[in-house]
Amino acid sequence: MTATQDPQNQTPAQPQLGGHTLPSYLDPNNIGPYEIYLEQVERVTPYLGKLAYWVETLKRPKRILVVDVPIHLDDGTVAHFEGYRVQHNTSRGPAKGGVRFHQDVTLSEVMALSAWMTIKNAAVNLPYGGGKGGIRIDPRKYSTGELERLTRRYTTEIGLIIGPEKDIPAPDVNTNPQTMAWMMDTYSMNVGRTATGVVTGKPVSLGGSLGRGDATGRGVFVTGAEALSKLGMPLGGARIAVQGFGNVGNAAARIFHDHGAKIVAIQDVTGTVHSEAGINPHTAAAHLARTGKITGLEGTEELTTGEFWGVDCDVLIPAALEKQITAENAGRIRAKLIVEGANGPTTPAADDLLRERGVTVVPDVLANAGGVTVSYFEWVQDFSSFFWTEDEINARLDRIMREAFLGLWDVKEQHGVTLRTAAYIVACTRVLEARALRGLYP
Ligand SMILES: NC(=O)c1ccc[n+]([C@@H]2O[C@H](COP(=O)([O-])OP(=O)(O)OC[C@H]3O[C@@H](n4cnc5c(N)ncnc54)[C@H](O)[C@@H]3O)[C@@H](O)[C@H]2O)c1
């Protein structure tokens, strides 16, 4: 709490980022990605009314676990890795969020990602709080056996705080269904029973859900199509540029294409391809699988990385990494609509520029929530041991994404704010309402 307040009066607190409100484990001179999240909370605070009394809750993760993960390497030596699990908030339900293996993972990054999961789960009204985990490792440098030992030791270390009713991890960058199978097995061995619901994103043969693979891209499509409709732009023939052609970008491009939109440019880590006539993403995926590169695709011309941002298109889908749309390139973007498949692809400065230019942004916490929504379905199916058809899953996913979009659009219109601020207003209100109703223990 930042000041002395009378809880009966519920006077809104004045949020401060400096001084004692910043935890000692963050460096005030280099807060890292968590600073972006704190700024987003600052922006939404004036819209929270009396609930702003509880806003400090949003700025501090509920629980942080830092673990040492030692493993035997194949060469007989022992290596130690830094692992994290952060439970940002559990006011509305168990923590939920992925686990990332990356050499640059930091506590601040995991804190930010866990906080964005709190916002995302609340924005689409899933009964979860937010969590995230990570291990500081470059997985490309290690064998499958080493990664299995790493995953199992990490799971045991964070086993203190995870569980089907407490905190449910899922895949994120450089983790996949196999990683989840190892996590599920390790947790199950430790508790003495098969606990499929401890993680989501598992293989379908092990309690995973149909439809999970395309779920995030599908959510990008559903929210993107709704946004086009609101903007009075036809879906048929809409010109789409996609950055990232992995799980999210590939599925989004494919589903837009299959609904009559035209993919005019694709960029991935290997290069950028462009075609006025349109790129068939099915063909592009086959080409990528065959050659390992997106470039060289028949019927396309190659662009430089920078030229991608100036491509003539109606919709831009960043689906690769964070901080891709910056103050430097935001002015060149010709799309009227940006649908954020990736987490955090737009910097706050770029966000302001886009708003001034009248570009509509469907924010990550809404646009890419399809993945966690089907993870929620997986968790529910695991609890009941009753599995749904892919059609049922897609119909439920489409309904949740559409209703979430329309609800946030109404809030955007009501307050005259961006969709991102609307998402934060709705999400923070839901989280803080739960906090206020539950009260402060003891
Ligand atoms: N997979 C999911 O269900 C899911 C859910 C929510 C959010 N996200 C977010 O979506 C983003 C992409 O995730 P994914 O699962 O598709 O990952 P992925 O690893 O399957 O694909 C990433 C894509 O980005 C491309 N890429 C990497 N570096 C690039 C660069 N410098 N320039 C251009 N392209 C580059 C890669 O070539 C690849 O095509 C991430 O931000 C992730 O956090 C994913």
Residue 2: predicted pLDDT: 38
What are the pLDDT digits (tens) for 301-359? 999 999 999 999 999 999 998 899 999 999 999 999 999 999 999 998 999 999 999 99
CATH number of 61-194: 3.40.50.10860
Q: Residues near ligand 1 with C-beta < 6 Å?
A: 172-173, 216, 243-249, 267-269, 319-321, 341-343, 368, 371
Residue 321: predicted pLDDT: 86
Distance 320 CA to ligand 1 centre (A): 4
Could you give the residue numbers annotated as active site? 132
Distance 247 CA to ligand 1 centre (A): 7
Which residue minimizes the CA distance to atom 30 of ligand 1?
269
Residue 303: predicted pLDDT: 98
Q: Which ligand 1 atom sits nearest the alpha carbon of residue 322? A: 41
Distance 248 CA to ligand 1 centre (A): 6
Q: For tokens 């109703």, what's the residue?
A: 437
Q: Which ligand 1 atom sits nearest the alpha carbon of residue 113? A: 43
Q: Which ligand 1 atom sits nearest the alpha carbon of residue 368? A: 6
Residue 7: predicted pLDDT: 41
Which residue minimizes the CA distance to atom 3 of ligand 1?
371
Which residue minimizes the CA distance to atom 19 of ligand 1?
246
Distance 321 CA to ligand 1 centre (A): 6
- Residue 134's DSSP bridge partners are 84, 100
Report residues of the chain scoring pLDDT below 70.
1-20
Task: State the chain's maximal CA–CA distance in angstroms.
Answer: 68
Distance 192 CA to ligand 1 centre (A): 36
Q: Are domains 61-194 and 215-364 of this chain identical in fold?
A: yes
Adjacency order of strands within the sheet including 337-339: 301-303, 271-279, 262-268, 239-243, 315-318, 337-339, 360-362
What is the domain class of 215-364 according to CATH? alpha beta
Q: In angstroms, rounded to a whole number, what is the distance separating the alpha carbons of residues 430 and 434?
A: 6
Phi/psi for 302 (5° steps) reads -90, 140
Of the candidates 134, 129, 133, 111, which has an alpha carbon nearest to the alpha carbon of residue 22?
111
Q: In angstroms, rounded to a whole number, what is the distance separating the alpha carbons of residues 98 and 201?
A: 9
Residue 113: predicted pLDDT: 95
Cβ neighbours of residue 140 under 8 Å, at least 6 residues apart? none
Phi/psi for 338 (5° steps) reads -120, 130
Of the candidates 398, 324, 395, which has an alpha carbon nearest to the alpha carbon of residue 361?
324
Q: Which ligand 1 atom sits nearest the alpha carbon of residue 215? A: 3
The domain ranges of the chain are 61-194, 215-364
What are the pLDDT digits (tens) for 241-277? 999 999 999 999 999 999 999 999 999 999 999 999 9
Residue 322: predicted pLDDT: 84
Which residue minimizes the CA distance to atom 6 of ligand 1?
368
